Structure 1
Amino acid sequence: MSKKIRVLIFGTGFAGQGHAEAFRDMGAEVVGIVGRTANVVDQVAQDMNIPYAGTDWQQALTDCDPDVVSIATPGGAHVEAITQAIEHGCHVFCDKPLTESGESSKQLYELAKAKKVKTAFAASFRYMPDVIHAKRLVEAGKIGEPLEVECISHFNLERDIPFGWSHRKEHGGGRLNNNFTHKLSIVTSIVGEKILSIMGEVRDDLGKAPIVEGVHNFKKRRDFIPSDLNDPSLKWGESNVEWTYTVLAQLESDLASKPVSVLFKHGGLHPRFHEDHIVIYGSQGAIYIKGHYASGPLYLHDKTNGWQELALPEDIAANVPNAEGDTEKNWRYLIRELLNDIKGEKVGHYQTFKEGSQYQQLIDLIRKNDNWVDVSQLQ
């Protein structure tokens, strides 16, 4: 395939613009962009020099006839757009979550398989350089058999961030959709892709958020926090998703004789005391990566030297796409894999709608919150 792969973008906010830049940087041609508000999508298209702008997704598929579509809207708006794109014969790159429910995610996965289109699911922080380094160390036996993993993070998010999609389950909001997906992807990439069992507990510590007009870019929503939260004319929206979660999982690993235990603990609204981190414990050592999404540095522990910081191998560093932020770099990494796969080149494993469907079904199970055993009557 010598011609540039043609890409149509669905979404005009931070993710939509970021996807467009990422596809261009990876050698694709962005032929159009679609949004829900005409003046907004027209302005974004003009600013980014995208030739086609529209508000009708189905019409845009016909007019632009893309090879790939990039889905960059909140998860609640994914099902119809992705269905139409697959029916049109397009490959699909989709940000997390895949949809708002496990049932609809599974339907999209089955449709993509039936239509034989390629898909990519962007729970993409598995491409952080120190995650790739940790995977290499574990595979080399540097910590012996992997035994357990812990992922701890506290974000201390502002409680008065304006009400929007992130506050509603049906729109793809919640910390499981927008944090746990990345964490699970990171851990499975290091330890093993097969998830054996899972249980969890969730809690909504927020309750409500102020309704404010004009918020378009997700990254800039903090700029719209009302100055007077006691203003009697201020309207409030109700949250119906989790802002805190605790999840336990067991993963199968080719490097371990028993299932690997994993703890995911996240408090979206709670302050951190020590650093957020990811740790992989083994029978002969451990790997510690600083940061909620393993931004680094990485430390290796063994019986001889204790904790030692390890430099990132040069070949891993050289393979990191050039971009401003980690999110943008990881988008580029996954997009590069997808585009190379479409071209018929050999690529490694990358996450598709198979994982997107599986993750959403797992989130549905965790949200049931029905794993408790009543011991109140024990003597």
Structure 2
Amino acid sequence: MSQNLRVLIAGTGFAGEGHAQAFRAAGAEIVGMVGRTPHVVEDVAERLGIVYAGTNWAEALSVCAPDIVSIGTPGGAHFEPIQQAIEAGCHVFCDKPMTESGPTAVELRDLALAKGVKTAYAASYRYTPSVQHARALVAAGAIGEPTEIECISHFNLERNIPFGWSHRRADGGGRLNNNFTHTLSIACAVVGEKILSVMGEVRDDLGRAPIVEGVHNFATRRDFIPRDLDDPTLQWGESDAEWSYTVLARLESPMARQPVSVLFKHGGLVPRFHEDHIVFYGTEGAIYIKGHYGSRELFLHGADGDWQEQALPDGIAEGLPDVSGETELCWHLLARDFVADIRGEPAPPYPTFREGAEYQQIIDIIRENAGWTNVAGLR
């Protein structure tokens, strides 16, 4: 494998741009970008200094001959581009959700294994500095045996964000695909990757959203909320994705004699009163991290019986890229590990399509509002 790795980006929005910057920082060459709308992909590619811009993915694979493809489009648009890229022998970096369903994710995972290409799955908030710190503390025995995890978040999202992929299951929408994927990854990163069983309940408490043209970047969709929601000419789209969920899970941990109990509670449309947070409880202490993805201050409850804020260890701080934004930072760290692994350099384990397929199958199960379901045997 050449050290000058060539990357083709799918997507012109927040994720596509973020992936391009992350791979450049990792030392790869961005050789092309593909989007849906000609003038949008041309404008974004020019601004980012990317020579090739197009709207035909198969053509871009042929012309650009990438070593890696990076998928930064909504989850419902992932399957065919990833399938084509794997068939072309490309390694694949894919944002969450991996696809719109468990069966399609499993199919891509198996195809990647059969073709011998490497994959990375960007449920990537496990890379936030405080989550890395929590993982080190738990591994060092700071809270004894882990017993319980609590992941609580309330986003109070605007109900009239324009109708789009986030409202439709078939397009990869829903809060499980776009929030739970991260918190599940965080819990697994800290206490253990083996998920034993899950149960859950989901709710669509939105119903509908206004249809507005011109929204190309997920990060700026709020700017397109109509001023007059009572306009009789305004069209509305019906949501079929969950905006709230409650999930229970049991994880096997090499650091505990019993399964670790996990509560994932998320309300996409309701306001928070206290901080969103993630807490890791153990037999001898606890770790509390502020923020819905554990990206803020970390506190340790130890033998002295009090919560004490902990400074980020130098070893973690020194390994962080110089980039603003927690999402961007996590993409940079995952891309760095992925590129190193492809080059044959030492790299720590990172999430792959194995986790992506497992998470999509678990999401399918949770959406059935079923009771406890054994997921340890998911293929």
Q: Normalising by the residue count of structure 1, what TM-score does the alignment of the two structures yield?
A: 0.97
Where 1:368 maps in the other structure, the secondary structure is coil
Matched residue, 1:335: 335
Deviation for aligned residue 1:14: 1.1
Matches within 5 A, 1:92-111: 92-111=92-111
Matched residue, 1:267: 267
Matched residue, 2:155: 155
Q: Unaligned regions of 5+ residues in structure 2, if any?
A: 373-379
Matched residue, 1:375: none
Matches within 5 A, 1:174-189: 174-189=174-189
Matched residue, 2:79: 79
Matched residue, 2:47: 47
How far apart, CA to CA, are the structure 2 residues paired with 1:44 and 1:54? 11
Deviation for aligned residue 1:45: 1.3
Matched residue, 1:5: 5
How far apart, CA to CA, are the structure 1 residues paired with 2:59 and 2:97? 25
Deviation for aligned residue 1:305: 4.3
Matched residue, 2:58: 58
How far apart, CA to CA, are the structure 2 residues paired with 1:241 and 1:46? 35
Deviation for aligned residue 1:24: 0.9
How far apart, CA to CA, are the structure 1 residues paired with 2:3 and 2:204? 49
Where 1:345 maps in the other structure, the secondary structure is coil
- What per-residue deviation string (whole Å, max 9, x for no partner) do you get for residues 301-360 of structure 1? 023241111000011011111211000000000000000000101111100000000000
How far apart, CA to CA, are the structure 2 residues paired with 1:329 and 1:114? 31
Deviation for aligned residue 1:46: 1.2
1:24 has 2:24 as partner = yes
How far apart, CA to CA, are the structure 2 residues paired with 1:164 and 1:320? 34
How far apart, CA to CA, are the structure 1 residues paired with 2:178 and 2:58? 27
Moved more, 269-278 or 45-54: 45-54
Partners of 2:33 and 2:45 within 8 A in 1: yes
Matched residue, 1:354: 354
Where 2:108 maps in the other structure, the secondary structure is helix
- What per-residue deviation string (whole Å, max 9, x for no partner) do you get for residues 178-227 of structure 1? 00000000010001000000010000010000001111110000011111
User: RMSD over aligned Cα, in angstroms?
Assistant: 0.9
Matched residue, 1:377: none
How far apart, CA to CA, are the structure 1 residues paired with 2:188 and 2:371? 23
How far apart, CA to CA, are the structure 2 residues paired with 1:284 and 1:152? 22
Matched residue, 2:230: 230
Deviation for aligned residue 1:26: 1.3
Where 1:125 maps in the other structure, the secondary structure is helix
Deviation for aligned residue 1:296: 1.8
Partners of 2:102 and 2:364 within 8 A in 1: yes
- What per-residue deviation string (whole Å, max 9, x for no partner) do you get for residues 81-127 of structure 1? 00000000000000000000000000000000000000000000000
How far apart, CA to CA, are the structure 2 residues paired with 1:280 and 1:45? 42
Matched residue, 1:242: 242
1:276 has 2:306 as partner = no
Deviation for aligned residue 1:370: 2.6
Matches within 5 A, 1:177-216: 177-216=177-216
Where 1:361 maps in the other structure, the secondary structure is helix
How far apart, CA to CA, are the structure 1 residues paired with 2:278 and 2:352? 24
Deviation for aligned residue 1:36: 1.2
Deviation for aligned residue 1:30: 0.2
Partners of 2:3 and 2:343 within 8 A in 1: no
Where 1:241 maps in the other structure, the secondary structure is coil
Deviation for aligned residue 1:55: 0.8
Moved more, 28-37 or 302-311: 302-311
Partners of 2:195 and 2:250 within 8 A in 1: yes
Letter in 1 for 2:162: P
Aligned residues: percent identity?
Answer: 67
Matched residue, 2:312: 312
How far apart, CA to CA, are the structure 2 residues paired with 1:289 and 1:47? 37
Matched residue, 2:377: none
- What per-residue deviation string (whole Å, max 9, x for no partner) do you get for residues 241-300 of structure 1? 000000000000011000000000000000000000000010011000000000121000
1:322 has 2:322 as partner = yes
Deviation for aligned residue 1:2: 5.7
Moved more, 316-325 or 255-264: 316-325
Deviation for aligned residue 1:3: 3.5
Where 1:184 maps in the other structure, the secondary structure is helix
How far apart, CA to CA, are the structure 2 residues paired with 1:224 and 1:138? 44
- What per-residue deviation string (whole Å, max 9, x for no partner) do you get for residues 6-64 of structure 1? 00001111111111111111111000011111111111111111111111100110100
How far apart, CA to CA, are the structure 1 residues paired with 2:261 and 2:52? 49
Matched residue, 2:170: 170
How far apart, CA to CA, are the structure 1 residues paired with 2:18 and 2:258? 41
Where 2:78 maps in the other structure, the secondary structure is helix
Letter in 1 for 2:234: L
How far apart, CA to CA, are the structure 1 residues paired with 2:300 and 2:40? 48
1:91 has 2:106 as partner = no
How far apart, CA to CA, are the structure 2 residues paired with 1:3 and 1:362? 37
Moved over 6 A (4+): none
Deviation for aligned residue 1:174: 0.4
Moved more, 11-20 or 326-335: 11-20
Letter in 1 for 2:100: E
